[in-house]
């Protein structure tokens, strides 16, 4: 992560922002597409997949509720004075579903493939919705509150987003620049699928801001700022050229390191022998 947000990565961010001078027109067109396109609506493909999934889960839950005659307060079994109510079976099924989701979660943490993240999140989301139906079917005191929580799109979005960030950063660590971009891309796609209109508008605002930065940088009225921006880039480039990969400055006219000097001295000694 230090390669992305640290001092060594500032030169690349400077170059990325400077490139907006040359692609500002394309950025504006892309921003208008995200802001004004009718594609990014919940009823259009592929963003209607989430609505269809919710309808299928709710339909399956209601079918089980109407077809399975389940009395949560009845006795599941009794052993002497021990009375086990039927809702213990609902707890067991919910626990097994959570175990299955945890298996996919652990697999995603240990995997470097990005699609494992989405597979784990998909399973977690389906399990969360089904567990809500199971808790409601068991007739527990907190059943309605839990059902309302899992049916709330924003609450489900927050849970899935937290799980996504947990999978990404704890899977590859905070030192991986690949983990940084993996989190950015995955969270953006997830947000776009759950809130297509709102998130596409945010994408358009960001792209429009980049286009405005490029236009301001190329505006003759902003020459002092452009000169200062160029000096910042030159300073960053010189800093990268003057510092070696191990963080130490170049030594000697040839830029040799102590390790190479020691190796040369050792070879000379061996040749003399």
Return left, alpha or beta for 74; rule: phi > 0 is left, psi -120 to 50 is alpha, else beta.
Answer: beta
What was the pLDDT predicted at 163?
Answer: 77
As given in the structure block, the two tokens for residue 174 are: 């905070």
What was the pLDDT predicted at 266?
Answer: 45
Confidence at 260, pLDDT banded by 50, 70, 90: very low
What was the pLDDT predicted at 189?
Answer: 85
Helices 87-110 + 114-138 axis angle, to 10? 170
Residues above pLDDT 90, as percent of the chain: 24
Query: What is the rounded average pLDDT of the residues 86-90?
Result: 76
- Taking the C-alpha atoms of residue 136 and residue 165, their distance in angstroms, rounded to an integer, is 29
> Tens digit of pLDDT for each residue in 119-129?
888 888 888 88
Provide the H-helix boundaries in the chain: 2-5, 10-18, 20-36, 49-67, 87-110, 114-138, 143-151, 153-172, 177-194, 196-218, 223-242, 258-272
What was the pLDDT predicted at 216?
Answer: 94
- Taking the C-alpha atoms of residue 136 and residue 130, their distance in angstroms, rounded to an integer, is 10
> Tens digit of pLDDT for each residue in 211-243?
999 999 999 999 999 999 999 999 988 888 887
Query: What is the rounded average pLDDT of the residues 127-132?
Result: 83
Query: What is the rounded average pLDDT of the residues 43-66?
Result: 82
């Amino acid at each position: 992560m230090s390669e992305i947000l640290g001092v060594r990565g500032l030169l690349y961010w400077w170059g990325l922002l400077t490139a907006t001078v040359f692609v500002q027109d394309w950025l504006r067109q892309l921003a208008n597409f995200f802001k004004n396109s009718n594609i990014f609506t919940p009823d259009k493909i592929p963003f209607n997949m989430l609505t269809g999934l919710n309808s299928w889960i709710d339909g399956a839950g209601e079918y089980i509720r109407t077809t399975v005659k389940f009395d949560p307060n009845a006795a599941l079994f009794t052993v002497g004075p021990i009375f086990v109510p039927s809702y213990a079976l609902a707890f067991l099924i919910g626990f097994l579903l959570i175990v299955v989701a945890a298996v996919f979660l652990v697999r995603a943490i240990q995997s470097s493939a990005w699609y494992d993240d989405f597979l784990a999140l998909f399973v977690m989301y389906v399990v969360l919705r089904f567990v809500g139906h199971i808790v409601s079917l068991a007739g527990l005191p907190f059943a309605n509150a839990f059902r309302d929580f899992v049916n709330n799109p924003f609450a489900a979005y927050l849970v899935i987003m937290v799980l996504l960030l947990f999978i990404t950063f704890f899977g590859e660590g905070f030192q991986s620049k690949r983990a940084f971009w993996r989190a950015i891309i995955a969270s953006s796609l997830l947000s776009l699928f759950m809130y297509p209109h709102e998130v596409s508008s945010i994408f358009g605002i960001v792209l429009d801001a980049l286009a405005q930065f490029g236009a301001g940088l190329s505006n003759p009225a902003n020459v002092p700022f452009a000169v200062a921006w160029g000096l910042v880039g030159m300073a960053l480039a010189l800093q990268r050229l003057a510092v070696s990969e191990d963080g130490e400055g170049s030594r000697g006219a040839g830029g040799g390191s102590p390790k190479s000097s020691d190796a040369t001295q050792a070879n000379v000694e061996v040749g003399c022998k």
